[in-house]
A and B are shown apart, each in its own frame.
Chain A
Amino acid sequence: MTDLNKPNVEIEQDETENLLRMDPVRSSFDVETRPVEPDTFAGESVVETRYTGGDTLDEPIRVTLLNEFRAIGEKLIYILYPKNAQVLRDWDLWGPLIFSLVISLCLSLPASSSDRESIFTVVFALIWFGEAVCSLNIKLLGANISIFQSICILGYSSFPLVISSVVCAFIDRLYIRIPVNVAMYAWATFASLGVLQNSNLTNKKFLAAYPLFLFYFSLSWIIFL
């Protein structure tokens, strides 16, 4: 019974996978990490996107934090020296959150007290909405990359801007600020172009890359001021 019924099970899985891929609502899930079918009838389905080991709720906090820091460190090393593209497949948003908080903080501290809150809010909102809009733009142009993955890559590529914002918060000399800002802007933009690497955009590479240039330019400009 099992041998004759196996092919039907496989065909049904392929058909539903194809339909899911066509559905624009769900096509942003990574195909290879969706749950295997037999689990869903017995109980709830476990969606595993990053860790292949089961659930991580039982391990001590120290181990979780160490794992997170190790993941952040791996991605930072990738930004510095892009060698292993597999690192970017497990996305996490801790890095972008820390970087955006540091940038917003460093930009709001030197300002006058009346402007401080508005600068923090505007920069924080600019970073997150800008990353979301750029990722949405890349997705709408036809790249087969998930939105969170591209937000993750854009967020990690803003690490050079963290360096320049920390430098510009403490140093006022123009001849240090300008080269640092220009260099960090160039580094951040080239690092973020890695999001376009594996996507199948034929004539639209510039259309997808231009918003990245604009986004990092606006951030570096506010950092410079």
Chain B
Amino acid sequence: MNEDYNIEADAELGRTTFEDDNLLKQNTPISKPMSPRLHARRASMQETTWTIKDSFHVTTKDVVQRCIHTLIPTTNFFDVIDDRPDLYGPFWITTTVVQALFFSNSITDYVRHLTGLIDAPYSIGKLVSAASIIYGYTAIAAAILWGFLVWNKCNPKLLDCVCIYGYANISWLPVSLMTPPFGLLSSFVSHIVKWILTSVGLGISLLFLVRNLYPVCQQAGTYFCKLSIAGIIVLHILLAITLQLIFFK
């Protein structure tokens, strides 16, 4: 068969169907260009390149466990993660906090509008500012921490930093859900209670962050360690004050 093909090569040009032309197909693979990933897989099946999908290999129990260990920071968070940092938790906790901030702010505004205190029932700009503040803070603070540690040759993983800051956001969730009743009372005591609530949230997340990042920053040397811990605390306090002034007023 093969030698027939070679002898009659010129006669093949008149054909209109190429169904049986497997030899032609093997020589000219026009049909499917091979992506570099396919090349890599064919070359060595043992190497694995990291894809985003790898950071979603968590089950429901894992995520719930991580959230609980964030709110009650007794054990080291990196042990809880067990070298499997995930992106599901940080992203969806951050999104939930954004929604909760908008929800608490708009429900107080709506009730005030019903009782005649304010003109507009709600302001959609609060949702946009909530999203930009929380997403921006989580991303930028995690990036600054990672950059700082890389500069001090600590070899951190960016995913770990994002994970820590993302899970730390969960403390704002109960704060924003408990604020509306006090926001509606508008007496001096309720102002104090709102500030206390915000500072409790700040305290929980700060405790979690410092407790887990202190061993990591210690590798950078004592001076930079103190500098980085101070930086984390200051940034977090700024975030708490911003949230209080914009959303919990």
Contacts and interface: CB of A to CB of B under 8 A. Distances in A.
Interface in B193-225: none
A211 B60 contact: no
16 contacts: A1-B20, A16-B32, A24-B51, A38-B19, A41-B21, A41-B31, A140-B88, A203-B60, A204-B60, A207-B63, A211-B95, A214-B95, A217-B99, A218-B99, A222-B124, A225-B106
Chain A interface mostly:
helix
Contact of B121 (A8, A38, A123, A225): A225
A142 interface: yes
Interface in B52-66: 52-53, 56, 58-61, 63
Contact of B60 (A5, A25, A205): A205
Interface residues of B, number: 44
Given A38-B18, A122-B128, A1 B52 contact: no
A23 interface: yes
Nearest to A209: B60
Q: How large is the interface on A (under 10, 10 to 19, 20 to 34, 35 or more residues)?
A: 35 or more
Contact of B20 (A2, A122, A217): A2
Interface in A61-91: none
Interface of B: 1, 4, 17-22, 24-25, 30-32, 35, 37-38, 41-42, 51-53, 56, 58-61, 63, 88, 92, 95-96, 99, 102-103, 106, 110, 120-125, 127-128
A46 interface: no
Q: Counting chain B CB atoms within 10 Å of each CB, which of A41, A118, A205 scores highest?
A: A41
Interface in A190-211: 203-207, 210-211
Contact of A5 (B20, B96, B102): B20
Contacts of B103: 221
A93 to B, nearest CB: 23
Contacts of B51: 24
A23 B32 CA distance: 13
Interface string A131-145: 000000100111000
Contacts of A206: 60
A98 interface: no
A189 to B, nearest CB: 15
Given A23-B35, A207-B58, A207-B88, A41 B22 contact: no
B interface: dominant SS: helix
The 8 closest A-B pairs by CB, nearest first: A203-B59, A40-B31, A140-B56, A225-B122, A206-B60, A8-B22, A5-B20, A122-B124
Nearest to B5: A1
A121 to B, nearest CB: 9
> Counting chain B CB atoms within 10 Å of each CB, which of A24, A123, A204 scores highest?
A204
Contacts of B53: 24, 140, 142
Contact of B59 (A9, A115, A137, A204): A204
A12 interface: yes
A9 B22 contact: yes
Nearest to B60: A206
A119 interface: yes
Nearest to B32: A16
A23 B41 CA distance: 9
A2 B21 CA distance: 9
Nearest to A20: B32
Given A203-B60, A225-B106, A9 B20 contact: yes
A20 to B, nearest CB: 8
Nearest to A26: B35
